[in-house]
């Protein structure tokens, strides 16, 4: 079986089931709006300090929305025990994993499509192509890592607890470089090109590593 077609088929299955139920994306969008509301009261954001605070709000909201999303990535498989069925097919586990990761990435991008306009609307910060590119590049690596750990903790007792504890430290490189990139895009620091370069390096490194590890995680 062609692994690319398997991955696309798995991703389409996930996205179709999300489209039919429409559970996760609306819930995550609401979660993000609530996070922005809390940030507004916590920081007293106004037009003078918005550019320095909003990058932090962006990453906090994105990281925690991502954790909620990845907590659900393997929920359907767990509840219906369908992962075993998928693994019984001749499709390679890495292709199945890639499909799950692609679908999770697409859902996260859908949340970002709500978050970035909301940031621009509520806090009046400029959201340009440079910000969008930094966020998207970080999302790729975060989705690969998040999906891997989501698959691993799916069978563990305290998975809601373990997923953030394992995933957050590994996301930090993306937040360091992505934070720098978004800060530069909003004009509070420089080094935009270096930060984007680092994000691309990290994406390549962690996508390769997760696809190497996926075999051990799914292959039971």
Residues of this chain that interact with another protein (CB under 8 A) are 79-81, 84, 145, 148, 152-153, 155-158, 161-162, 165-166, 168-170, 172-173, 176-177, 180, 191, 194, 198, 202, 205, 209, 213, 216-217, 220
Residue 50 to residue 186: CA distance in whole angstroms: 9
Q: How far is the CB of 66 from another protein (least distance, A)?
A: 17
Q: How far is the CB of 115 from another protein (least distance, A)?
A: 23
Contact 96, 148 (CB under 8 A): no
Q: Which two tokens stand for residue 119?
A: 């940031």
Q: Which of 34/161 has CB closer to another protein?
A: 161
* Residues 93 and 8: beta-carbon distance below 8 Å: no
Task: Using the minimum distance from each CB to another protein, give the nearer residue, 7 or 152.
Answer: 152
Which residues lie closer than 8 Å to 119 by C-beta, 6 or more apart? 36, 54, 57, 58, 125, 127
**Closer CB to another protein, 20 or 157, in the complex:** 157
Least distance to another protein, CB of residue 220, Å: 7
Closest CA to 125 of 194, 42, 56: 56
CA 107, distance to chain mean position in Å, is 8
Q: Which is nearer to another protein, 99 or 173 (CB)?
A: 173
Looking at the Cβ atoms of 2 and 80, the one nearer to another protein is 80
Closest distance between another protein and the C-beta of residue 126, in Å? 22
**Toward another protein, which CB reaches closer, 66 or 119?**
66
Q: How many CA atoms lie within 13 A of 4 on its CB side?
A: 0
Q: How far is the CB of 18 from another protein (least distance, A)?
A: 20
Is the dihedral angle over the CA atoms 22, 24, 27, 32 positive or is it negative?
negative
Provide, rounded to whole angstroms, the least separation between the CB of residue 110 and another protein. 27
Q: Give the Cα separation of 174 and 199 in Å (integer).
A: 6
């Amino acid at each position: 079986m062609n692994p690319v077609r398997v991955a696309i088929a798995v991703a389409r299955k996930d996205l179709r089931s999300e489209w039919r139920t429409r559970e996760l994306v609306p819930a995550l969008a609401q979660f993000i709006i609530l996070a922005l509301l809390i940030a507004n009261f916590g920081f007293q954001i106004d037009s003078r300090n918005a550019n320095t605070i909003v990058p932090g709000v962006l990453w906090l909201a994105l990281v925690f929305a991502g954790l909620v999303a990845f907590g659900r990535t393997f929920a359907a498989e767990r509840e219906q025990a369908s992962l075993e069925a998928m693994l019984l097919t001749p499709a390679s586990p890495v292709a199945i994993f890639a499909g799950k990761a692609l679908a999770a990435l697409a859902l996260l991008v859908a949340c970002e499509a709500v978050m970035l306009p909301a940031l621009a609307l509520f806090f009046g910060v400029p959201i340009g192509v440079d910000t969008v590119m930094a966020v998207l590049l970080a999302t790729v690596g975060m989705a690969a890592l998040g999906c891997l750990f989501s698959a691993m903790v799916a069978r563990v007792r305290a998975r809601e607890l373990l997923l953030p504890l394992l995933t957050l430290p590994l996301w930090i490189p993306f937040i360091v470089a992505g934070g720098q990139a978004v800060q530069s895009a909003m004009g509070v620091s420089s080094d935009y090109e270096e930060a984007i370069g680092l994000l691309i390096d990290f994406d390549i490194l962690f996508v390769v590593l997760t696809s190497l590890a996926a075999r051990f995680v799914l292959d039971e």
